[in-house]
Amino acid sequence: MPETAATLDKALHEAHQRDEELRRLRESATYAGDEDPYRRKDEDGESA
């Protein structure tokens, strides 16, 4: 039983570390393209 608990603790610790890494990456992330990729009609009625 203690081995199982240690394995779970290790897995939870690794998951927490990955979550923190993703959080840091998201802070500086930008869109690959436009923020709004959907085509919109411009003011002249033409599609962009």
The pLDDT tens digits for 6-42 are 999 999 999 999 999 999 999 998 887 777 778 777 7
Predicted local confidence at residue 7, as pLDDT: 96
pLDDT higher for 44 or 30? 30
Q: Which one, of 47, 27, 26, lies nearest residue 38 by Cα?
A: 47
Kindly provide the b/e burial profile for residues 1-20, where b requires at least 16 CB atoms within 10 angstroms of the residue's own CB: eeeeeeeeeeeeeeeeeeee
**If you ran DSSP here, which 8-state letter would residue 41 be given?**
B
Task: Flag whether pLDDT at 46 surpasses 60.
Answer: no
